[in-house]
Each structure stands twice: as C-alpha cells, then as structure tokens.
Structure 1
Amino acid sequence: MTANTDTAELDLPAPPEPGLTADQVVARAEAMIPELIERQAEAEERGFYAEDIHERFARNGFYRILVPRRYGGYEFGIETFLRVSMTLVRGCSSTGWMYSLGAAHALMAATLFDERAQAEIFGGGDFICPSTSVPSGSAVPAEGGGWTVDGTWSYSSGAPYATHFMGHALMPAREGHPPAPLLFVAPRSQWVRLDDWGQQLGLRGSGSHSIRMENGHIPDHLAQPGVQIAEYDATSGTPGRTLHGNPEYGGALLTFINFINCSMAVGMARGALDAYEDLLRVRTTLVPPMVPRYQDPDYQLWYGDAVGMIGTAEAALLNAVQQWHDATVRGPAAVTREVDLRLSAICRHVAKLCWDAVGGYIMPTAGSSAVRHGERLERVWRDMSTLRTHAGLSVLLPTIAMRQLARTLVH
C-alpha cells in the first residue's frame, strides 16, 4: 500500500538498502522476537532498550519505514510500520512501545510540514521523534522571528535515542480567547531528557521519559500555530501529499494515532497467547485425570476463544488500515472527520477484544504461578494493564471521539 516513490529522476539520496522490501523488514522484526523475549528484564531495569538493539533497529531499516524516499527513507507505508510494531511488541512490550512511539511520528512530520522543514527534519535519514498531544509549557514570539519555547512534556516515549521531539506548547491568549496550541518540532540540541522513568507498573522499559526545554528556539518553518495533530483537517490536501505524491502523507492522523495504540494491544495479546501456549504444553490439569492441559477440553475451549478474539482484533485493525489507505487514494476530500472517527471507533473495539481475550481467558486460567515476578505472562499482564491507563485509548476515545462520531452522522 505505497505510492510510486521512484526518486531516480530527482537525484535524491537512496536509502541504505535500495532493494529492501516491506516483507523483508517484517521478517527482520520476526527474527528478533526470541532475543527480545530474553532481554525483557534487562530493558525494564535500564528503562529503555539497549544501544546494540537500537543499532540493530537502525541497520534493519526500522527507523526509516515511514521516512520519505526523497530523504533516504523507505516509505513503505503504515501497514508495514504497524506490522513491525506488533511484531516487536510481541517479543517485548516495552521495546516495541518505545520503538513505535519514537518512529511513528515520521508520518506526521512528512504530512504536516513543508519542503524546507522536511529537508531539515529528515536530513539524518533515521528519524526518532517522541511526541505528546497534550499541550504543555509556553511558546512566545522570539526576537528576530521564530518562537521561544519552555516546558516539560511527560511520557515522551522514545526519548533515549531520539533525534527530535514533536510537541504542543501554548501561545499567549489573544483578545479574550484562551491560549492556542503551537505544534513544533525541536532538534535534539534544544531539549534534555529527564531521568524520571522506570517506576511504573508496566512498560518500565519503554523509555517514556519527560523532555524539558528551557528557552528553546524554534524557527518559524518548524512551527505551526493553531495545529493539533489529532484534530488536523486534511480534506484540502497536505504539504506532504503535494511534495511526495504519496497519498498516505495526506491521511487521517487521529486514526493513525489509534492504529499505533491498537498495534500495541494486538502485539501484547499475541505475546500473552505465546506464553499461554507454552503453559498448555508443559503443565497438567489440576485434578485427575492428570493430563497435559492442551489435551483437556476446557483448556482447549479457553485457548480457542482467545485465539479467535485476538485474530479478530488483528484482522479488524488491518482492515481498518486498508480503509484508511483507500480513503487517501480517493483524494483529500475523502479524508473526512467522519472517516477519521469511524475508523477510530473500530480501534476502540480492537483494543477491547485484546483486553477481553487476555483478561477473560488467558490470565484467569493460566494459574497464579504464571504471574510470579519475572514470568513472561506476568510482564505482559503488567504492560497491558498500563496500556489500559493510556488516556487517549481508555478515556478520550470511548467518550469524546464516539460523541463526535455520532454528531457527524446525525444532524
């Protein structure tokens, strides 16, 4: 699901492996699953994945999946990116979360900013850019142009190896109106990472540190007054669609944010199912006749229901991704708020199916020994519980977004 992105005629930089395919990138992620499982505790102890893992991700091309070909990226599209994310999360929730929330915002940058900004943003090839959607801090016009930004942004997943940060700050109030947001991209030289992550219930290795800026200078071409990513209207076209000729750089961004969260849910549920399968093979039933659990009719039913629910969730997510792509191909006018919210509604139930499968079937029947500290299933359970506290997925999506969807349909 990618547009024609041949850049030979433009004399633009080629990606490190010009012949690399989307399937090969996904296969590289799959090959890393055993090692990521083995190193989960290490990632939690550190608070983020190791430098050698980061270097492997770079060599595998993971940080360039969504970067435009024009700037040496692979421009494989969001389906490939989400498949890689789900796969890495299946191995280690923290590692997959940190990777995904660091690399995903290449799509936003390539969609929202003009050619000058993108040439600067993507100049290094690999692009790792945590982002927060909740405005924080302040942005005031700077002498000589641009903006002076101060603030602290918590939960900036992907911060340890980040090349940039994308955030929202509040501009001064005007004429009785409340302060409006300023969307900005700040290079690594403009901010510091705080050492404040790792004590949460789950996702302890996700590198979700806070980012602080003090008197940071943001030039005008890296700032967009009044823009909030989750509410962006792409129906008149976007700078990225025009620049790259790829309709996916003109898609609905709220939905893409929800796709990211749902890929995390599906990946975690897949990891829990893997651990459950291992238990069925090695443990016996609790009462006579003592047989391996995989031979017991009750465990077979519980396993089958979990497989079906998780498979349905993944299928719904990938179908929604296809609908998202199809809308972008039809043109900017098709990328409506109604489409954005309707696909987000599907995301809500993708996440719910995953939670119900793990919480309703896998965890109650796995046994208490499976959730001892350090067990794989115990870690996945903590990570999924933390995902459930994500405000966008568990609070804003089921309430504000669903009400807004109804309003687009009923006038």
Structure 2
Amino acid sequence: MTPTKPPIAVTGLGLVTAGGKGAEATWNAVCAGQSLAAHDPVLDGLPVDFSCRLPSSEEDIDRAVGRKSWRMGRFAKLAVLAAREAVRDAGLDPTTWQGSRVATVVGCGMGGTEKWEEQYARLDQHGPERVSPLTIPLIIPNLAAGEVSIDLHAHGVSLAPATACASGATAIALARDLLAADLCDVAVAGGTEAAISRMSTVGFWRMGALSGRTDLAAGASRPFAADRDGFVMAEGAGILILERAADAAARKARPRALLTGCGSTSDAHHPTTPAQGAHGAEAALHTALHEAGLAPGDVDHVNAHGTSTPLNDATEATLIARALPHRPSVTANKGVLGHTLGAAGAIEAALTVLTIQHRRVPPIANLQAPAPEFDIDCVTKQPRPQHVRTAVSHSFGFGGHNVVLAFTQA
C-alpha cells in the first residue's frame, strides 16, 4: 500500500510525569512496571484520597521554570519544562531558529482547576479584593500553548485543542497537518494536565470513573484486569518535536521514529460513555493505517488508552481483537503513571516512540493476565523484548473523541 501522507520525523521528546522529570526517568518507571499511586494530602477526607503526583516539589518546579513561574498555572509550568527538554533533545536552539515557522500545539483537558478552587476560597472568605488579578491566565487551558510559545520564541501557529483525554493526541495530529500544509517547519506538540484537586477528584468519583481502592493505592489502576474498577488521577506533560522527514534529514537530525498516520473520529453517541462496538475508534485506526500505507497485519504493538475502567477497557479490547486479530503486543501505561487526562495521549505517544526505539515493550502494572473475555496479548510482569516496526497509540476522550496515531521505525 502507498502512504497517503508524507512521513513526519519525531526528532525530540520531553516528559514530566509521576515517573520523574525527563523522558529517561519516565521510560525507566514504566519499564519497572510498578504503580506510582500514593496517598495525596490534598485529597484528605475524600472518598478517594490517592493520586499519581510528580515527585518534584512546587518549589523545585518553580526553580526549574525560572523567573516567570509566578504567573503560570501548574499545567503550564509542566508544559514548559517538557517542551524545553524536547527542543534540546531535537538539537534545536530557540535563540537562533526562525520563530515564525515554529508552531506550538499543546492540548489540555481541564486547565488550572486547583487555582480556580484556591481563588474561589479567597473570594468566599475574604472578598473580591483578595482574588488574584492573575486568576484567569492561571486557569485557562490555552495558556500552556501560550507560555510554551513565549518561552521558546515560537511565533508561528499556536493552538490549544481540548478533546478531553484525547487532547494530547489531537495536538500531535493537528501539528502533523500544519507541517503537511507547509504552515510551519517545526511543531512543538503534545499535552499537559495538572488537574488533581478536591473538586475534580470528587467529580470523577461521583461519575464512577475512579478506583475506590483507598486501602491499596499502588494496586488501584489495573488496565484490562477482570477486577478493574476505575482510574487514578495523575498529572504530567508530554511534548514531541515534529519536522518533515526531509527537513530533519537536511539538518542531519536522526529521528527517534516516524509519525506516519493519524486518524480522528467522533462516536457521536454519549457525553461520557464510549459507543458499544467501538466502530468509531476502529474507523480512526483504519484511517491512521491508510495514511501510513499499512495494513492491520503490519501493526506489531498497541499502546492502549487502557484507563482501567470497566467499560472503556472492554470497548478497547473488543476493538483490538476485532481489528487486529493477529494479536500484537499491548501495553497500557496508566497502570504505572495514572491517568493524566489531557496529557495522556502525548505521554503515551512519546512512550510508543521509545518502545520502537528501544525494542522493548513495558509491562502493564498490577496485571497478571487480561480478563478471560479479552482476546488480546497484554504484556505483564516484566518488559518484553520486541522488534517493533509499526505501533499505534490509542487515545479516547469524553465527548466521543477517538484519535489513533501510527508510528514506524525511522
């Protein structure tokens, strides 16, 4: 089959997650296969009082961001740190590049929920004059893309897609389109989220989305397990540097992998429930493979959305078994890192690239074997050596958003 879209080179990665600051730290954490969920003092007294937080303190994060950190919400700070790492990894220099040809596309699902709660408490307890004049820029989701573009002197197209838990993947797909349309030469693309707050946690708990294993936080997230009962709130950011393959070759940059296809569809079904049968998600998968010039049988590996919720995992397992019956290896990083919401698609895309590059598939935490009704090949207990030539990364979001990204070996 002939590709219908030109390949895009992934020349840089940046990650900030519960696994640590930097792509290497996160990669080592997911390969270790141990959940990073732990008690969260911010959530004390709630029905769910654990999460996957960054190991760095707020002071350490502010120090790393620098003098402008005071004006940023936590989600924007994480995006800036991930973007800086990705740019360094790509061998690019924001002080010398042509900023008008650099796009920033950073998805975010919720924005600064903790700042909203903090400022509302000030209003309620002390009156309007005690509310920060920075309240709005501290909370609105597009300020991640805005602060990244400011920090990197990137004057090109800047977008902030919000497709819930698919936001980071949507951002990468949009960035690919900008490059294909010659609207930029470099795209800084990914997602960020720092939405662990009392209200957001209660909101997800009330809708039945969170695991209730308060006595076993580290064993709570168990994607594709028979006794899964929900996800674990998490925070983080993932950024990829994308360039046209020919441009990367011209500057002698060695791609980590190639982004060869993107598929996006809508279930048009329900605000929060995936459509039974996963036909919209399957259409997104086939679109991504068609763009890449690949057949389903070419897929060696799936980085699953794998939220550890009963319905999502069942729907996704149905999709994988039907569309990819040759049983490619399957992993789901949320077992280790928790669910980073709007950042998840970008973090998992980066981990998919690393899987291709390292020829190693990380295991799914807290999983001995998939539920008996799931006919999928889940990697469990320890990393699996595998020469992965083609991999797909699934991302699904509330509202029925389906995004599939196809990556191939460079």
> For the superposition of Structure 1 and Structure 2, which TM-score range results when normalised by the shorter chain?
under 0.3
* Larger RCO (alpha carbons 8 Å, 6+ apart): 2
TM-score, with length taken from structure 1: 0.27
TM-score, with length taken from structure 2: 0.27
Higher-helix-fraction structure: 1
Larger radius of gyration: 1
